[in-house]
Structure 1
């Protein structure tokens, strides 16, 4: 392992970057995805609270739409908890994002102060991730992994397809990957800060997640168990499911 990918020590200072600059077109017209409400509270606020529920997290950096940083900061201030911030005592910072998720994460990394050794990157569209999952990711990075992702086994069989002959035509199946070896990746993903920064400086291709960028460096990535409630809210039906999860939490925990 190179010097810039050594794992942080047990007492490492931890920050979370939440890219929330996307428009969420699959949810239809209206507010950006991260600002859609669940139980009357924007998804972004749920996501910030989910990250700050971990005692290990000292800072949450929210990467807002390029022209919406002031609006997002006002939103965070409006949902402050008794601890003095929307995270109940955890510090937070809002910075304007870029045109792509990758650029927004890089801008969030650029905003981190010195002394941060471990970085989590979390999708604002995963508002209900349990704190145990957050802590499992942190624990694995602290234990020596330079990059960690939470993931779930697949319930469905997956088919690899080739290109259709023409638009709208049936796609030919070319392979059936072994399902037992596949995982559906979630967030937060955890990284040694230097490793993630190097990935964003080195990998210029459009990659769907930050762990994929680290893989391009040849740095090992490991998986820890994810959680069924850490699903991504992408389509209108996901909003219905998320509301149901919140209703169950209120009934069971008074949350």
Structure 2
């Protein structure tokens, strides 16, 4: 039997803070959707044999069209309906993968990735998969925290008050894709299923469900380019990073579907013109 690595790609996040009336996974970066960028990099890693994308039912068609239009998405993919929380959406993706698993090619590794992190590179995907296969049951990419972090007391009728300074040397800003041994992630989701239907109690990432089992979660080096797209500022930064990668020699290593310098790397709506990279920028 030949084991294989598979991926759940979440694409249900709201585009409200981007001023969109549809999921931000359908926002464009250099004429390619965020979900297309993320899926193409998963494909380019050479590690992933199939991708299940979770999206709102009313946007299945648009997400499918976006993936079909992205030349770098070369592995089989399908879109399934997500749930009321990210945790529930990932559970739906896992259920679909379990339903279609071939007994002759069982999954040994499953990645959970967010379309909102479109520039996480193919090299990062490979690094996470390798760490799981080397024996780490759960792996997250992380970056050292560079800001000073304060804990505060929050008051309803006054300013916040600092209660302490956290030792940032032991903090990491965690990203996706996160990687897991297949059986471990199934067990973690089953144990935490009662939290999934309410956004206020649902896990914000999958590694926290594994932590709740008392299992170890390991960290591998993350990437600055794997930033999460939430605001128009984030889109502008991602556009600059993408333009730099395309102009340089590392575009192929990232798995980017964009192979020529974009004339406009991000949507201009709500973005200062000075933040939009142009040819020659």
Normalising by structure 1, we get a TM-score of 0.89
Displacement of 1:243:
0.8
Q: What corresponds to 1:136 in structure 2?
A: 127
- Give 2:172's match in structure 1, choosing from 168, 171, 183: 183
The answer on whether the counterparts of 1:161 and 1:174 sit within 8 Å (CA) in structure 2 is yes
Deviations 1:51-84 (A, max 9, x none): 11111111111111122222211222222x2xxx
Deviations 1:24-75 (A, max 9, x none): 3222233311000001111110010111111111111111112222221122
Deviations 1:90-114 (A, max 9, x none): 1111111112111100000001032
- Give 1:95's match in structure 2, choosing from 72, 80, 89: 80
Q: What corresponds to 2:214 in structure 1?
A: 218
Displacement of 1:116:
1.8
SS in 2 for 1:111: helix
Matched, 1:104 2:93: no
SS in 1 for 2:51: strand
The separation in 2 between residues aligned to 1:66 and 1:170, in whole angstroms, is 42
Matched, 1:59 2:50: yes
SS in 2 for 1:176: strand
Cα RMSD between the aligned structures?
Answer: 1.5
Give unmatched runs, 5+ long, in structure 2.
196-200, 252-258, 260-281
SS in 1 for 2:149: coil
Q: What corresponds to 1:14 in structure 2?
A: 5
SS in 1 for 2:173: strand
Give every structure 1 segment of 4 or more consecutive aligned residues whose post-TM-superposition deviation is greater than 4 Å: none
SS in 2 for 1:197: helix
The separation in 1 between residues aligned to 2:238 and 2:140, in whole angstroms, is 22
Displacement of 1:193:
1.1
Cα gap change, 1:65 to 1:231, in 2 (>3 Å) = same
Matched, 1:197 2:220: no
The answer on whether the counterparts of 2:15 and 2:21 sit within 8 Å (CA) in structure 1 is no
Normalising by structure 2, we get a TM-score of 0.81
- Give 1:170's match in structure 2, choosing from 131, 153, 159: 159
